[in-house]
Amino acid sequence: MGILELRGSQFQEMNFLKILLIFQNYGKMGSEFLEDGSLILGRFRFNPHEFRLGMRTFKTGLAVFLVLALFSLLGFEGLQIGCLTAVFSLRENFDKSLHFGTSQIVENTIGGVYSLIFFGISELFNKSLWVTLVFDPIFTMLTIMTNVAIDNKSGIIGAVAALLIITLSIPEGDTFTYTLARIFETFIGVFVATLVNADIDRIREHFVKRMANKD
């Protein structure tokens, strides 16, 4: 019996061990090769014909390289943030990259602003533990509500992550500096991804036109 075939009372009558066995059997890994060379591993299929370097993959690698080179040359920290932002921001085309990148800048700004307010409250009450217990959940909810209110639902996870990383792991004295640095690193990642997308697309269009003119 597959897990999708369980219904109502049947599911309720089964004990935990039986349910566990169903999940194990449902996801059991077996492997075999098909005639076209594809390798099937359980539910996953590796198709060698799809293992190729596409334009978006190439642009993503190029964007990561440029962020690493830029940060290294200028002596900036925050390589992880810059590279991850570049990867997340690089979409199918220029417009989507710009939209998603802007969303990331907004989400980090929202998380940073609420973290600054949090530390202000924490200082007022001598950094008491109860401030973290009470206000971190409150500001988490406010961060979600703010993103929803400004129609930036895709930025909810990033904004909450920025808030919690700053409030739970960054020393109080470095909060303002870290917040600004994170926003700056995000901006650099978005800028590089957008630039790569725009320039590569422009270069590709140029070569396509030249080939068309030759024909």
pLDDT at residue 17 tops 60: no
Helices (H) and strands (E) in the chain, counts: 8, 3
Q: Check if the beta carbon of residue 193 is closer than 8 Å to that of residue 82.
A: no
Taking 70 as the threshold, does the pLDDT of residue 208 lie above it?
no
- Which DSSP state fits 35? T
Q: What is the mean pLDDT of residues 4-8?
A: 46
**Residue 110 confidence class, pLDDT cut points 50, 70, 90:** very high
- Pick from 123, 186, 169, 203: nearest CA to 131: 123
Q: Which helix (H) or strand (E) holds 33?
A: strand 31-33
Q: Which of 130 and 42 is assigned the larger pLDDT? A: 130
Q: Please count the CA atoms within 13 angstroms of the CA of 167 that sit on its side-chain side.
A: 31
**Which tens digits make up the pLDDT trace of 147-198?**
999 998 888 988 898 888 888 877 666 777 877 787 788 788 888 888 888 7
Domain limits, the chain: 3-50, 55-214
Crossing angle of helices 156-169 and 129-149, in 10° steps, is 160
Contacts of 138 (CB under 8 A, 6+ apart): none
Point out the least confidently predicted range of 54-68, 121-135, 143-157, 184-198.
184-198
Q: What is the pLDDT of residues 67-103, one digit of tens each?
A: 999 989 988 877 887 888 788 777 766 677 777 778 8
Rounded Cα–Cα distance for residues 16 and 6 (Å):
14
What average pLDDT does range 17-24 have in this prediction?
Answer: 48
User: 7: helix, coil or strand?
Assistant: coil
* pTM for this prediction: 0.61
Phi, psi of 171 (to 5 degrees): -55, 145
pLDDT at 69: 93
What is the DSSP track for 95-125?
Answer: HHHHHHHHHHHHHHHHHHHHHHHHHHHHHHT
Res. 8: pLDDT tops 80: no
Q: Please, what is the average pLDDT of the chain?
A: 76
Higher pLDDT, 32 or 90: 90
Residue range 37-65: mean pLDDT, rounded: 76
Mean of pLDDT values over 14-39: 50
